[in-house]
Amino acid sequence: MKLFKRVLVSVLRRKTCTLILLLLTFLIGNVMAVSIAIQQSSKGIEENLLNRIGGKVLLKSPITDQNQIYALSDEDYEKAWKEFIDSYENLSSKEKVSYADIHYHYNSIQLLDSEKYDLNNKHYENGSYLHGVDSLVFTDEKEELLTLNKGSYFTKEMLDDGWDVMIISDQVTRDQVPFQIGDRIDFSLILTAYDPAQSQTVSVYEKVISYEIVGIYQQIDNKYSDIQNDLELFYVPNQNLVKYEQFAKDFFSKSNMEPNRDRLWIESCMFRVHSLLDLPVFKNTVLNEIEDKQINFYTSEDSVEGLLGTIKTLSSLSENVLWFSMGAMCIAVALVTFYFVKERKHEIGIYLSLGMDKKELLIQIVFETLFVGLLGIILSIGSQKYLSQSFSDYLVETMIRYEDTEKDKFVTNHHVLNPDHLTHEDIVSQYEVHIQGQDLILLLILGSCTLIISCLLPLGYIVILKPKNIMLE
């Protein structure tokens, strides 16, 4: 009777030992399989989200509050502005960058009460901010946030010379305002100054700017897009805003009034690299560029990180659980096999007195343990499927609920790309635990290693056994 037959007979006839070992490896195998599945799925969801968001870097000025901007001295303001624009220009010309975008804002231009169209009545909150753009094709369109329905984009000439032209949302036309390409919308440039006599800010100059509509876009509901989640309704060329800011500066420099500092500002600029693989390199370029400047930056990885916090915690938790369960399996299997090998002392003595090579005996014990242990683990693969999905669903749900309530107490992270569009609900619905071929192989390899390690104790016992003491006592 050769090795394999002996293994088989031993496993099939020594039922108690086999059943205990099978149960043990089945139970712990489930824990291992679940934790591997959770880890792999977390990795999967991260990749998935990253791919959808794409490789992006967002530069932000640390100064975001209007009042902070106005509080800067002219010198500091010029410096901060220049630093930001320089960085944008340096970085956007890098070859890794597929496209880049920067939006200017200037508060002094506001929607005017119009006689022809009652726009103010619609309370376009954002209408008071014109949304400056710099690109021939809107980055927002590339980001699949909007699509141009009618008309065309700004021409290079319009962008460079800052024409009074505008691309508007079809939401404006949907609100029963029948705008057509070529129509005009009036905005007013309102310059304010502080009047010490009245001790309040008063409007000192007003000028009507009539913007010609050259295009109408439609908003797309896209959760995986970038920064500009609150779509502005009115796009104008950046240079147009620069032009009017310059006008205001000139106005105040000629008068002796104390201007209320209405300043052109940038909230952020965005760079999209060709592929996610370019992101690490570009990230370094960005780091060098903004090294000693007052600029913050965020990448799509940060954004995914922020959103996946819970799932990542779960993943690292399950990694710990994996190691722990492997340790537990190791110890438990070692003790069980040791106990049963001791019970089989006589049998082992018989093999040895028959002249069996000790190595062959050791191999037999390892094979027996592997045979039953792997069977237990393979059985656990079948059941973990249901276990891990419901278990991790439960965990994700409770953890996210906990995190959300925690979050309410603090300021939400608004710095990440796509902070509002992609919600935790999206992630929960995407979170699908499944174990794949390679995970199964991983599980079997880890399981086999654990089982082999757990054989060391009984094997050590066999090595020091002397057949004479067992057989001729």
Partner 1 sequence: MSILEVKDLTFSYPDGDVKRIILDHISESFDQGKFYAIVGFSGCGKTTFLSLIAALDKPESGSIMYQGKEISEIGYEKYRRNHISIVFQNYNLIPYMNALENVRVAMGITENPLGDDMTRLALEHLFSVGIDEKKAKRRVNRLSGGEQQRVAIARALSTNVDIILADEPTGNLDRKSSEVIVDLLSELAHQRNKCVIVVTHDQNVAKKSDKIINLQTIGMKLKS
Query: Which residues of the chain form contacts with partner 1 (CB under 8 A)?
Result: 1-2, 5-6, 9-10, 13-14, 346-347, 349-358, 466-468, 471-472
Smallest separation (angstroms) from partner 1 to the CB of 364: 11
Q: If residue 268 lies in a helix (H) or strand (E), which one and from where to where? A: strand 265-273
Nearer to partner 1, 244 or 351 (CB): 351
Residue 348: φ, ψ to 5°: -65, -40
CA atoms within 13 A on the CB side of 184: 12
In single-letter form, the type of residue at position 382 comes to G
Nearer to partner 1, 211 or 340 (CB): 340
Q: Which 8-state DSSP code applies to residue 162? A: T
Nearer to partner 1, 59 or 465 (CB): 465
Nearer to partner 1, 104 or 351 (CB): 351
Smallest separation (angstroms) from partner 1 to the CB of 45: 50
Nearer to partner 1, 16 or 256 (CB): 16
Nearer to partner 1, 342 or 407 (CB): 342
CA 75 from chain center: how many Å? 38
Smallest separation (angstroms) from partner 1 to the CB of 470: 9
Nearer to partner 1, 8 or 276 (CB): 8
Number of H helices, E strands in the chain: 16, 11
Q: If residue 389 lies in a helix (H) or strand (E), which one and from where to where? A: helix 358-409
Smallest separation (angstroms) from partner 1 to the CB of 348: 10
Q: If residue 322 lies in a helix (H) or strand (E), which one and from where to where? A: helix 300-343
**230 to 54, 59, 125, 131, 424: CA distances (angstroms):** 19, 18, 11, 11, 19
Smallest separation (angstroms) from partner 1 to the CB of 380: 27
Residue 439: φ, ψ to 5°: -65, -40
Quote the CA–CA distance of 24 and 26 in Å, as a whole number: 5
- Only one residue has tokens 């496993």, namely 11
Smallest separation (angstroms) from partner 1 to the CB of 11: 11
The answer to whether 81 touches 105, Cβ cutoff 8 Å, is no
Smallest separation (angstroms) from partner 1 to the CB of 351: 7
Nearer to partner 1, 342 or 346 (CB): 346
- Which of 318, 368, 367, 333 is CA-nearest to residue 33? 318
CA 154 from chain center: how many Å? 33
Quote the CA–CA distance of 374 and 444 in Å, as a whole number: 7
- Which of 101, 251, 120, 248 is CA-nearest to residue 175? 120
Smallest separation (angstroms) from partner 1 to the CB of 349: 7
The answer to whether 222 touches 420, Cβ cutoff 8 Å, is no
Quote the CA–CA distance of 310 and 321 in Å, as a whole number: 16
Smallest separation (angstroms) from partner 1 to the CB of 345: 11
**How is 169-193 classified by DSSP, letter by letter?**
EHHHHHTT----TT-EEEEEEEEEE
Nearer to partner 1, 55 or 349 (CB): 349
Nearer to partner 1, 10 or 108 (CB): 10
Smallest separation (angstroms) from partner 1 to the CB of 8: 11
